[in-house]
Amino acid sequence: MTDRALIFGIGGQDGAYLAHLLVNKGYEVHGTSRDVDVAPFDGLRQMSVLDKVHLHSANLTDYGNLIQTLRTVEPTEIYNLSAQSSVGLSFDQPIETLNSIASATLNLLEAIRFLDLPVRLYNASSSEMFGDTAKQPADETTTFQPHSPYAIAKAAAHWLIESYRKGYGLYACSGILFNHESPLRNERFVTQKIVRTAVSIKLGTETRLKLGDLSIVRDWGWSPEYVEAMWLMLQQAEPEDFVIATGKAASLEDFTRTVFERLGLDWKAYVDFDPGVVRPYEVDYTVGNSRKALQKLGWSARLTMPEIAIRLVDMELERVGRRSTGTGN
């Protein structure tokens, strides 16, 4: 029997890399977007799997539509990656954020329970749930101290997963992923903003980069590696939650400096402070400890910052070069 995966949120960064991984493993891959007729699916196209996956219009906040989707696909594995994913935007759209994460996760769990599906569920939790880790690496036992509506919603969804796992016996687990980047990252995220603007400055099409607090510290990993961990979690005999991180801390200033140095530029000559992009309630320092993932999944991060920053710059230069010659996106 062919494994059949259903990826809610297949159009995002992780969804595209996960679809590519699963297609190459021989899965029948299904994915959803709110409206597949208008969704661009640029990531799937760049990963050369758009014509190899089955797409469905689905909305996790619509319970009836969700039931219909599950009955149609009959998946053996479900990956819940669909949600409003911007921490900054969650302060402007808290209700939409809570609904798209917490309520949507509850709908999915209830639908699986109602249909009595023999399915394994992966849920995308977030390191934002930890808040500031006080310069100590967070693991699966670290207390949640969420700062943003996004983080609060993710924490609620995380506890729902545990409740249905223990209360109803569902195979459901969460990956607590720290920041992870790739060329498929949306321009709303600061790492992509830095890389693309820096390359534009190098090419002479832009002159300044506006950023907020450069002292914040994050644990940056590589998205294609992190989706491997998602898949590994669903291959275990029993469902468990795992922290997925590099364990290496770097400041936003470190990231910015590395990007500009790769382009032969001094970042201080081009970066301005913009108080307008500072979040109302920022997380100053966060880093993860994925020792459990190494011990039980055999997973560990291979790329860290600055390798990630350098790779992003090189790939952006390649993308811009292809666009200028009319050979691709």
What pLDDT digit, counting tens, does each position of 34-62 carry? 999 999 999 999 999 999 999 999 999 99
pTM as predicted? 0.94
Whether 51 is covered by a domain: the verdict is yes
* Cα(72)–Cα(211) distance, integer angstroms: 46
Q: Any idea which of 167-171, 212-216, 279-283 has the lowest mean pLDDT? A: 279-283
What pLDDT sits at residue 188?
A: 83
Expressed as residue numbers, the domain containing 214 is 190-218+248-283+304-325
Statement to judge: residues 147 and 276 lie in one domain: no
Whether 290 is covered by a domain: the verdict is no
Whether 228 is covered by a domain: the verdict is yes
Q: Is 150 a catalytic residue?
A: yes
Statement to judge: residues 107 and 195 lie in one domain: no
Angle of the 63-73 helix axis to the 104-115 helix axis, nearest 10: 50
What pLDDT sits at residue 329?
A: 62
| Contact indicator for 262, 310 with CB cutoff of 8 Å | yes
Q: Can you give the CATH number for the domain in which 259 is found?
A: 3.90.25.10
Statement to judge: residues 164 and 267 lie in one domain: no
What pLDDT sits at residue 90?
A: 78
Statement to judge: residues 214 and 228 lie in one domain: no
Name the active-site residue from 85, 103, 126, 290.
126
What pLDDT sits at residue 321?
A: 87
Strands 271-273 and 209-211: parallel
181: tokens are: 């980047």
Q: Number of folded domains in the chain?
A: 2
Statement to judge: residues 273 and 148 lie in one domain: no
Type of residue at 189: F
What pLDDT sits at residue 280?
A: 82
What pLDDT sits at residue 1?
A: 67
Whether 295 is covered by a domain: the verdict is no
Statement to judge: residues 208 and 133 lie in one domain: no
Whose CA is closest to 185, among 44, 14, 317, 324? Answer: 14
Q: Is 110 a catalytic residue?
A: no
Statement to judge: residues 260 and 273 lie in one domain: yes
Whether 294 is covered by a domain: the verdict is no
Name the active-site residue from 17, 150, 171, 226.
150
111-146, pLDDT tens digit by residue? 999 999 999 999 999 999 999 988 899 999 999 999
| Contact indicator for 199, 263 with CB cutoff of 8 Å | yes
Statement to judge: residues 140 and 230 lie in one domain: yes
Q: Can you give the CATH number for the domain in which 47 is found?
A: 3.40.50.720
Q: Provide, rounded to the nearest whole percent, the portion of the chain with pLDDT above 70.
A: 98
Statement to judge: residues 64 and 152 lie in one domain: yes
* Cα(39)–Cα(41) distance, integer angstroms: 6
Instruction: Indicate the average pLDDT of the chain.
Output: 94
| Contact indicator for 10, 44 with CB cutoff of 8 Å | yes
What pLDDT sits at residue 326?
A: 67
Q: Is 200 a catalytic residue?
A: no
DSSP structural state of residue 275 = G
Whether 293 is covered by a domain: the verdict is no
**131: alpha, beta or left? (left if phi > 0; alpha if psi -120 to 50):** left
Can you tell me which residue has the tokens 């390798």?
A: 307
Statement to judge: residues 29 and 62 lie in one domain: yes
What pLDDT sits at residue 290?
A: 98
What pLDDT sits at residue 88?
A: 79
Whether 298 is covered by a domain: the verdict is no
Helices (H), the chain: 13-24, 42-46, 63-73, 87-92, 94-98, 104-115, 149-168, 190-203, 223-233, 252-262, 291-297, 307-325
Whether 232 is covered by a domain: the verdict is yes
Task: Say how many C-beta atoms besides its own lie within 10 A of residue 162's C-beta.
Answer: 15
Is pLDDT above 70 for 168? yes
What pLDDT sits at residue 328?
A: 62
pLDDT band at 82 (very low <50, low <70, confident <90, very high): confident
Q: Exposure of 234 by Cβ count < 10 A (0-12 exposed, 13-18 middle, 19+ buried)?
A: buried
Is pLDDT above 80 for 74? yes
| Contact indicator for 282, 216 with CB cutoff of 8 Å | yes
Name the active-site residue from 17, 125, 127, 128.
128
| Contact indicator for 43, 16 with CB cutoff of 8 Å | yes
Radius of gyration of the chain (CA): 20
What pLDDT sits at residue 64?
A: 95
- Cross-strand bridge partners of residue 30: 6, 54
Statement to judge: residues 199 and 145 lie in one domain: no
| Contact indicator for 293, 174 with CB cutoff of 8 Å | no
What pLDDT sits at residue 109?
A: 98
Torsion of CA 158, 59, 233, 251, to 10 degrees: -60
Which one is predicted more confidently, 1 or 43?
43
Statement to judge: residues 227 and 252 lie in one domain: no
